Chain A
């Protein structure tokens, strides 16, 4: 009997390169959803700030702290906190929040892809209906949106050059293929219709 089921690699290739563009699978991170209960927002924000050095902010920017921790708003009254793998983030936050927030581990639900290189913005713009111009979509800016038909969280790592896609694990291969097709100058999804 298998004691541990190791998760399969979410995509068949972990890196593809087309000209100056690269699409790569990013290392796993611990991702935790934090949803403060009614009346406890301030206390939970304070707790997360002390523990991770990041605010639960209402802005569209990801807050980054020391130690590789970061947090961004992932919807109404919901924040995604993330940090290095093996940091036991979920258990720590659950203990610290002490029943004042719903703390749920999302590490296994999401996969991160990084699209890099000159023209990365143009490739990303083929897939998402969000204006990626650096004047509005600057470093750290987060957008919950669709890439084709796939729900993604798009994070700008560096305007025009580096874009991170956070995607459901079961849809990672599809998104990987769609971005790869776009990198090759094709039209994503066209071959499936």
Chain B
């Protein structure tokens, strides 16, 4: 698998680390315990389009949001994380 880093260009998978689901959002402090358990422990395992956090530790050391398809392995977009991506 190759990811096209917005800072470095196309690079091999060995330069990146997978850092989890980019779609989870931190619940409010008042949220019920079930929401917090879901936020901390529960992850979907989608077959198809997914949004993930990757870390380019062996290159520019930037955090990236990768939109890819877990079924076809197609990579749709790779962007540097923005404020909106904060969990």
Contacts and interface: CB of A to CB of B under 8 A. Distances in A.
A144 B11 CA distance: 10
A145 B59 contact: yes
A146 interface: yes
Contacts of A145: 8, 11, 15, 58-59
A76 B8 CA distance: 10
Contact of A76 (B12, B14, B15, B60): B60
A129 B58 CA distance: 10
Of the four ranges (under 10, 10 to 19, 20 to 34, 35 or more), the interface on chain B belongs to 10 to 19
A106 B58 CA distance: 19
Contact of A75 (B7, B11, B14, B15): B7
B9 interface: yes
B86 to A, nearest CB: 15
Nearest to B64: A76
Interface in A65-118: 73-76
Contacts of B24: none
Which residue, B7, B11, B61, B62, has most C-beta atoms of chain A within 10 A? B7
A-B interface, 9 closest residue pairs, ranked by CB to CB distance from nearest: A75-B60, A76-B62, A146-B58, A144-B59, A144-B60, A129-B12, A76-B80, A60-B9, A76-B7
Interface of A: 60, 73-76, 129-130, 143-146, 151
